[in-house]
């Protein structure tokens, strides 16, 4: 992590190396949202706090103002939130000239208390609950996405039709094809690394134009910050090179979808407490209980792993996108996979999340489920082998409406996150569902126009 402090920023401003500070918070969709400060203004006052309209945490992908949110509405006049920079997140954004960024916590305008439904606060609360048990969560999210030959503007002008992936064939682990994409992928890796995002590698994925970016695991909050900054860099750099990147989980009926698998382990005093060298497969009792909670409650938090109508289109048997709440040993058809058995790197990978997750919410909900497993001493069922698509094991909700209902009914998440937070995100899912129900899709027209 390149250390950047207010002092080093002052020096960089004085030398002319930096002129712009992106002051950002994380919105409900997991996007960087905020303002571009002149560095002089940031150094004189902006570093203490700035403000934003509170509709920004009660909106959708298109920035509308849907009704039904208790936290804010037209009736309450849409007031302000405080954006409080977390100066430990100050870092360069080397792919943008003269620019650095900082992430903010979102606070109530009058009381300065954290806004409970702001994504960083949702995660902070679960990290604190885990700290009370003596553990800290280490996590990694794998970013899958597609690159397209054309630019965002050309694609939008063409109404998102005839999309051309950047490559012509399945490029899983292909060095030949990924060489041709280095104009985009190399600056993504190197600029992110210089921004303190510990990139491990990138690789071609199992579809035309599909990429994966792996970032070294970190404490849960840093992991989510890395994920968010990486997504921004990928879109910025693809745009700058005249291409487009999408994190839509399923952009074409016949193409494989994109995931964001989440690896997790719990640590205490610098050691992975999921590892017990004397236990079967090296899995400690803590790991077993955490996994039992994670698996038993997967339906409760599916909406945080699959937050849009489109997210559920990815869950197709035979495509490595899992739908069953079972675990397996190094088997990619299960919702949960044991990785690094019998090693200090032992961890569980949740394979359900799509590339469109808000990582803060997805990680927070998984930690809450794991805590429930530990607190209740839940027992882990034996692993399931073979093709889990065909196994008789419970499933996650298969559409957004069911997932939102399951969240609404989750006593576990209500106790862990608070009723107001749960209801806020139930409403968020309902807004997505309601908007989709008003849409008339290309599919319906082509299918029924002449033949219905």
Q: Which residues bind ligand ADP (CB under 6 A)?
A: 138-140, 200, 214-217, 263-265, 272, 339, 345, 347
Residue nearer to ligand ADP on the CB measure, 54 or 264: 264
Altogether, the residues listed in the chain come to a count of 452
List, in sequence order, every residue forming a beta bridge with 141; answer none if it has no partner.
262
Residue nearer to ligand ADP on the CB measure, 189 or 313: 189
Q: Quick one: which H or E segment has residue 292? A: helix 285-296
Rounded to an integer, what distance in angstroms lies between the CA atom of residue 217 and that of residue 198? 8
Contact 81, 112 (CB under 8 A): no
In the complex, least distance from residue 100 CB atom to ligand ADP, rounded to whole angstroms = 25
Rounded to an integer, what distance in angstroms lies between the CA atom of residue 208 and that of residue 183? 17
Residue nearer to ligand ADP on the CB measure, 343 or 376: 343
In the complex, least distance from residue 261 CB atom to ligand ADP, rounded to whole angstroms = 7
Q: Quick one: which H or E segment has residue 252? A: none
In the complex, least distance from residue 156 CB atom to ligand ADP, rounded to whole angstroms = 32
In the complex, least distance from residue 266 CB atom to ligand ADP, rounded to whole angstroms = 9
Q: Quick one: which H or E segment has residue 13? A: helix 6-14
Residue nearer to ligand ADP on the CB measure, 46 or 353: 353
Residues contacting 110, CB < 8 A, separation 6+: none
Residue nearer to ligand ADP on the CB measure, 55 or 145: 145
Residue nearer to ligand ADP on the CB measure, 69 or 217: 217
In the complex, least distance from residue 216 CB atom to ligand ADP, rounded to whole angstroms = 4
Rounded to an integer, what distance in angstroms lies between the CA atom of residue 327 and that of residue 350? 9
In the complex, least distance from residue 376 CB atom to ligand ADP, rounded to whole angstroms = 23
Burial class from Cβ neighbours inside 10 Å (0-12, 13-18, 19+) for residue 391 reads middle
3-state secondary structure of 229: helix
In the complex, least distance from residue 434 CB atom to ligand ADP, rounded to whole angstroms = 36
Residues contacting 152, CB < 8 A, separation 6+: 239, 244
Burial class from Cβ neighbours inside 10 Å (0-12, 13-18, 19+) for residue 213 reads buried
Residue position matching structure tokens 């027209």: 445
Residue nearer to ligand ADP on the CB measure, 288 or 347: 347
């Amino acid at each position: 992590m390149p250390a950047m402090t207010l002092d080093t920023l002052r020096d960089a401003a004085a030398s002319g190396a930096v002129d712009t500070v992106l002051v950002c918070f994380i919105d409900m969709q997991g996007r960087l949202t905020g303002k571009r400060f002149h560095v002089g203004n940031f150094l004189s006052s902006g570093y203490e706090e700035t403000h934003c309209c509170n509709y920004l945490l009660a909106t959708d992908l298109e920035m509308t103002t849907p009704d039904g949110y208790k936290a804010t509405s037209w009736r309450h006049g849409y007031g302000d939130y405080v954006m409080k920079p977390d100066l430990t997140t100050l870092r360069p954004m080397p792919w943008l000239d003269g620019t650095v960024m900082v992430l903010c916590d979102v606070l109530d305008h009058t009381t300065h208390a954290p806004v409970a439904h702001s994504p960083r606060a949702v995660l902070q609360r679960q990290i604190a609950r885990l700290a009370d048990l003596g553990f800290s969560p280490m996590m990694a999210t794998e970013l899958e996405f597609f690159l397209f030959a054309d630019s965002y503007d050309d694609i939008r002008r063409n109404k998102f039709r005839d999309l051309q992936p950047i490559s012509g064939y399945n490029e899983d682990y292909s060095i030949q094809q990924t060489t041709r994409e280095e104009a985009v992928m190399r600056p993504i890796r190197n600029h992110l690394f210089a921004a303190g995002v510990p990139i491990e590698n990138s690789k071609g994925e199992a579809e035309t134009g599909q990429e994966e970016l792996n970032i070294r695991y970190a404490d849960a909050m840093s992991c989510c910050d890395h994920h968010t900054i990486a997504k921004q860099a990928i879109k910025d750099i693809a745009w700058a090179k005249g291409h487009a990147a999408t994190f839509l989980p399923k952009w074409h009926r016949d193409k494989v979808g994109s995931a964001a698998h989440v690896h997790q382990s719990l640590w205490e005093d610098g050691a992975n407490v999921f590892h017990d060298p004397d236990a079967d497969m090296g899995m400690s009792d803590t790991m077993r209980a955490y996994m039992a909670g994670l698996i038993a409650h997967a339906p409760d938090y599916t909406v945080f792993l699959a937050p849009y109508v489109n997210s559920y289109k990815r869950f197709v048997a035979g495509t490595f996108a899992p739908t069953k709440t079972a675990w397996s040993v190094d088997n990619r058809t299960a919702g949960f996979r044991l990785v690094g058995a019998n090693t200090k790197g032992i961890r569980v990978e949740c394979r359900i999340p799509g590339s469109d997750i808000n990582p803060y919410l997805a990680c927070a909900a998984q930690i809450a489920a794991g805590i429930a497993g530990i607190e209740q001493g839940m027992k882990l069922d034996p692993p399931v082998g073979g093709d889990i698509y065909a196994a008789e094991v419970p499933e996650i909700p298969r559409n957004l409406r069911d997932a939102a209902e399951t969240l609404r009914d989750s006593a576990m998440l209500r106790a862990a996150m608070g009723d107001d937070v749960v209801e806020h995100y139930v409403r968020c899912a309902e807004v997505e569902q309601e908007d989709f129900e008003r849409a008339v899709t290309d599919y319906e027209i082509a299918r029924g126009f002449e033949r219905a």
